[in-house]
Amino acid sequence: MAHFERDPHTGHMTTGHEWNGITELNTPVPKVIWLFLACTVIFSVGYWILMPTWPIGRTYTKGLLGDDVRHDLTQSVKQAALDRSEWSARIEKESFADIQKDPRLMEPVRETGRALFGDNCAACHGRNALGTKGFPNLTTNSWLWGGTPEAIFQTITVGINSAHPETRTSQMPAFGKDGMLPRADIDKVIAFVRSLSPPNAQDTKKDIDPAKVAAGKELFAANCASCHGEDAKGNTEMGAPNLTDQFWIYGGDQASIAETLWGGRQGHMPTWESRLSALDRKILALYLVDLRKPEK
Ligand code: HEC
Ligand code: HEC
154-210 per-position pLDDT tens digit: 999 999 999 999 999 999 999 999 999 999 999 999 999 999 998 877 888 888 999
Average pLDDT, integer, range 128-156: 95
The dihedral through the CA atoms of 99, 103, 108, 109 has a sign that is: positive
Nearest to 176 by CA among 191, 158, 189, 192: 189
Nearest to 124 by CA among 157, 166, 156: 156
Phi and psi based region of residue 102 (left: phi greater than 0; alpha: psi -120 to 50; beta: remaining): beta
**Ligand 2 centre and the CA of 242: distance in Å?**
9
pLDDT over threshold 60, residue 1: no
Q: pLDDT grade, residue 33 (50/70/90)? A: very high
Q: What is the CA radius of gyration of the chain?
A: 38
The reported pLDDT for the residue numbered 94 is 96
pLDDT over threshold 70, residue 2: no
pLDDT over threshold 80, residue 293: no
**Ligand 1 centre and the CA of 153: distance in Å?**
11
Q: Which of 20-29, 155-164, 229-238, 269-278 has the lowest mean pLDDT?
A: 20-29
The reported pLDDT for the residue numbered 183 is 95
**Ligand 1 centre and the CA of 167: distance in Å?**
12
Question: What percent of the chain has a predicted confidence (pLDDT) above 70?
Answer: 98
The reported pLDDT for the residue numbered 128 is 93
**Ligand 1 centre and the CA of 124: distance in Å?**
7
In whole angstroms, give the CA distance from residue 112 to residue 108: 6
The reported pLDDT for the residue numbered 83 is 85
Q: Is the CB of 238 under 6 A from ligand 1?
A: no
Give the number of whichever ligand sits closest to the CA of residue 152: 1
Q: For ligand 2, which residues put their CB under 6 angstroms from it?
A: 170-173, 175, 189, 193, 220, 223-224, 226-228, 238-241, 243, 248-251, 257, 260-261, 265-267
Mean model confidence pLDDT for the chain: 93
Burial 135-167 (b: 16+ CB within 10 A, else e): bbbbbbebbbbebebebbbbbbbbbbbbebeeb
pLDDT over threshold 80, residue 32: yes
The reported pLDDT for the residue numbered 69 is 87
In whole angstroms, give the CA distance from residue 279 to residue 85: 11
Separation of first and last alpha carbons in the chain: 100
Angle at 294 between CA 292 and CA 296, to 5 degrees: 85
The reported pLDDT for the residue numbered 5 is 85
Residue 14: exposure state from Cβ atoms within 10 A (0-12, 13-18, ≥19): middle
Atom of ligand 2 nearest to the CA of 224: 37
Q: pLDDT grade, residue 18 (50/70/90)? A: confident
| 220 alpha carbon, distance to own chain's centre | 39
Q: Which of 60-69, 113-122, 241-250, 263-272 has the lowest mean pLDDT?
A: 60-69
